[in-house]
Amino acid sequence: MNPILISFDLDHTLMVNPFRRWVFPDVDKAVHPLLSSGGGTPVRRMVQEHLDRLARREWVSAYDWDDILRTITGEKKSHLPFTVEDRVRHYAKPGRVWLFADVLPVLNRLHSQGVRMVAATNGWEKYQRPVTDCLGITRYLDSFHTPDTRGFAKPHPDFFDFPNGHPLVHIGDRIDQDIAGANRAKVVSVWINRHLTEEWRLRSLKERRTHPDFPHLVHRQLKQEGWEDSPSDEQIPDYLITSLEELEKVLNLMHP
Pairing of strands 15-16, 169-172: unpaired
* Alpha carbons 16 and 224: distance in angstroms, whole number: 17
When asked if residue 11 is in the footprint of Mg ion (CB under 5 A), the reply is yes
Site string for Mg ion, 13-42 (x = CB under 5 A): ------------------------------
* Alpha carbons 9 and 208: distance in angstroms, whole number: 22
Residue 178 C-beta: closest distance to Mg ion, Å? 7
When asked if residue 159 is in the footprint of Mg ion (CB under 5 A), the reply is no
Residue 177 C-beta: closest distance to Mg ion, Å? 7
3-state secondary structure of 116: strand
Phi, psi (rounded to 5 degrees) for 30: -80, -30
Pairing of strands 144-145, 169-172: unpaired
The span of 7-15, 75-83, 85-93, 163-171 binding Mg ion (CB under 5 A) equals 7-15
CA distances 128 to 202, 229, 252, Å, are 34, 31, 30
Residue 33 C-beta: closest distance to Mg ion, Å? 32
Give the gyration radius of the chain's Cα atoms: 19
3-state secondary structure of 102: coil
- Output 9 or 64, the one with its CB closest to Mg ion: 9
Alpha helix locations (H) across the chain?
24-31, 42-55, 65-73, 84-91, 103-112, 125-135, 147-150, 180-184, 198-202, 205-210, 214-224, 247-254
How many other C-beta atoms can be found within 10 angstroms of the C-beta atom of residue 224?
A: 9
Residue 169 C-beta: closest distance to Mg ion, Å? 16
Residue 12 C-beta: closest distance to Mg ion, Å? 4
Residue 37 C-beta: closest distance to Mg ion, Å? 34
When asked if residue 194 is in the footprint of Mg ion (CB under 5 A), the reply is no
The span of 11-19, 60-68, 75-83, 124-132 binding Mg ion (CB under 5 A) equals 11-19
When asked if residue 9 is in the footprint of Mg ion (CB under 5 A), the reply is yes
CA distances 52 to 34, 157, 213, 225, Å, are 22, 20, 34, 16
Which residues in 163-192 contact Mg ion (CB under 5 A)?
Answer: 173
When asked if residue 12 is in the footprint of Mg ion (CB under 5 A), the reply is yes
The DSSP bridge partners found for residue 5 are 116
- Output 73 or 124, the one with its CB closest to Mg ion: 124
Please choose, from the candidates 55, 57, 75, 77, the residue with its C-alpha nearest in 3D space to the C-alpha of residue 66.
Answer: 77
- Output 16 or 80, the one with its CB closest to Mg ion: 16
- Output 173 or 246, the one with its CB closest to Mg ion: 173
- Output 119 or 188, the one with its CB closest to Mg ion: 119
- Give me the residue whose beta carbon is nearest to Mg ion: 11
Q: Give the count of residues interacting with Mg ion (CB under 5 A).
A: 4
Binding interface with Mg ion (CB under 5 A)? 9, 11-12, 173
